[in-house]
Structure 1
């Protein structure tokens, strides 16, 4: 088994426009508010082990007990998103797990036959991985460790949803 019984913390969808998708999700499910991060900077991006540019934007909101993310790719080129949706399609892409030791979890997934589709870092040593479970599960599995900045985002999104009355539904993160 690739990982211990780790709860899903997030479900993510690949979409052409994160704001449009967030608004549609809010209208259908009452989720939100959504926090948008545009052109998320990466200090490292390895697609299937090779350096590759990835310019992406995401919107994060709360949907009951789980965070929902919408992600769009802003640049051309290969990626784990285009692996599943090569012709501009959209749909469910990955679930995210917070693990105590990402490198060990990656090794367990790889040993079980799930290649690392993406390894990226938002700061040196602060990374996330997309494990290719498409053949067996129909989606990728994202792994990351419980760093204070990551947990702060989860806390912000969850707490904003508690008293969300539908006003100010789209909010923007400052991305440096």
Structure 2
């Protein structure tokens, strides 16, 4: 567990083909069900301080208490997802920590020198998220991006719903479409 952020709650994978990625997790690893949002509606999104009209598809499932997030960017808008893919990588891009005291964690992270990469909001002011750079891209020890996410609102309730559906999943209905917001 991180003394700064708490337990890792999510591993986020940036992929080029979200449908193929869900199929892999379902068939090879038997993780599911997947809650799939074909076009995420963000309230706002900024990349490195500039507004960005990013278009995303997201799928969420749990393996125990760890949430797996699959992200496919659908356009060329600036984002850390696009930077990751443009660098030739695909796969695990971030680890996420969840908080019900988001602003305090956000301020503390910036105060400790974390560099904001991108941030946004989904589903109102209690749906904020921020991604921080962990080091120079050429540094093999820098690890992945760190995300913090506010779960004090509807997003937190949805994440709990996803976790509970995975507990007794029997393999049926492996992909479950969701409209618009996580």
Q: Aligned equivalents of 2:13 and 2:116: distance in 1?
A: 19
SS, match of residue 98 in structure 1:
strand
Q: Report deviation, 1:103.
A: 2.6
Q: Structure 2: how far apart are the matches of 1:49 and 1:107?
A: 16
What residue number does 2:171 align with? 166
Q: Following the alignment from structure 2 to structure 1, what is the Cα–Cα distance between the partners of residues 66 and 142?
A: 19
| Cα separation, partners in 2 of 1:106 and 1:63, compared to 1, 3 Å | same
State the 1:3 CA deviation.
Answer: 5.9
1:43-83 residue CA offsets vs partner (Å, 9 max, x unmatched): 21111111111111100011132010100001113211122
Corresponding position: 1:141 with 2:146: yes
Q: Indicate the residue corresponding to 2:132 in structure 1.
A: 131
Structure 1: 5+ residue stretches without partners: none
Segments of 4+ moved more than 4 angstroms = none
Separation in 2 of the partners of 1:61 and 1:134?
Answer: 28
TM-score (norm 1): 0.89
Identify if the C-alpha distance between structure 1 residues 112 and 148 changes in structure 2 by more than 3 Å, giving closer, same or farther.
Answer: closer
User: TM-score, length-normalised on structure 2?
Assistant: 0.86
CA contact (8 A) 1:3 1:105 kept: no
Secondary structure of the 2:28 match is helix
Equivalent-residue separation in structure 2 for 1:3 and 1:53 (angstroms): 34
Structure 2: how far apart are the matches of 1:64 and 1:134? 30
- 1:87 Cα deviation (Å)? 5.1
In 2, the alpha carbon distance for the partners of 1:111 and 1:88 equals: 31
Number of residues of Structure 1 aligned to a counterpart in Structure 2: 175
Q: Where does the alignment leave 5 or more consecutive residues of structure 2 unmatched?
A: none
8 A contact 1:12–1:95 mirrored in 2: yes
- Maintained 8 Å contact 2:151/2:157: no
1:121 matched to which residue of 2?
121
- Superposed counterparts of 1:90-109, under 5 Å: 90-109=90-109
Alignment of 1:1-176 (within 5 A): 4-86=4-86, 89-125=89-125, 126-135=127-136, 137-175=142-180
